[in-house]
Amino acid sequence: MIGTAEIVRNAFEAGVMIPAFNVPYLPMVEPVVRALVDTDSFGLVATARLEWYKFEAKGLKPVRDEFKKWEQPDYVRLHLDHVPVIDEDDVHVDFPPILQEAVDLGYGSIMVDGSRLDLDGNIAAAARATEIAHGAGVPCEAELGAVFGHEAGPPPPYEELFKSGRGFTDVDDAVRFVKESGCDWLSVAIGNIHGAVSTAMRDKAKVAARLNIDHLETLRTATEIPLVLHGGSGVQRDYVLEAMKHGIAKINIGTEIRQAYDKAFQQTRAVKDAQDAVYERTCYLLRDYFELAGKRAQVLGGG
């Protein structure tokens, strides 16, 4: 069976991308898988450490167990998203055991986030994570630059961030990072922001973010590996479609489908209604917003 690393590389070379859908609630897994199958798309179901503590995903094994009920390997694989070295509350995390547990449980790809460290520390953390991933035959994603939004409070004003380029991934640092860490995919900061996770902010609409495509192209040319766009919800559509042509081979989607789940559940208190809302929103994103419906064969190597 073709591995996740090859699938994302195929997307990179074809100028399309793999959506990774974060599932902060376990009942979201089934409608995401169903939407991928029904639109003939390929994607990832993803879980991040913060979703086990700040939402209701419960942990690595509960997500894996729920995924196993619905998995369709020709359409979807399981990905471990953000495992921080220093988390959004400035707590140091013992990340290697978490990554090791994930690969032991059968996750097809993993991510470490050392972006709150200095460059040397981030490289060292990514190298350790890559060692764990490659020891299990799976790819490792790392992050360089500051993708704001997971902080405890509100992020800085967006226009200030974008115009100044504050936190953008540095090209020279990226070249060194990829070479010395050995990571397979690199999450970059080019104007994208995470959905806020603080209680006061998590239900707010995200900023309509823009992307610096020229900077992205420079990063693609310099690193020559698949690049990742975190905070994909809310990025203006034209920028996302253009970013696919310039190295973004994976995009993370969380806020869009989480807020659909939350809104429906709050209205009816019925999990089935919340699942239906996730299914409809996921289909819309795949079919209409990202134009990924029907492109599964391209990333699986058959088209």
Nearest to 124 by CA among 112, 133, 136, 134: 112
In this structure, the number of other CB atoms found within 10 A of the CB of residue 5 comes to 19
Task: Measure Cα distances from 171 to 15, 177, 197, 260 in Å.
Answer: 21, 10, 29, 36
Backbone angles phi, psi at 98, to 5 degrees: -65, -45
Span between the terminal Cα atoms of the chain, in Å = 16
Collapsing DSSP to helix, strand or coil, 165 comes out as coil
Whether 94 is catalytic: no
Q: Which of 38, 65, 81, 118 is catalytic?
A: 81
Q: Give the contacts of 221 (CB within 8 A, at least 6 positions apart).
A: none
SS3 letters across 245-258: CCCEEEEEECHHHH
- Residues annotated as catalytic are 81
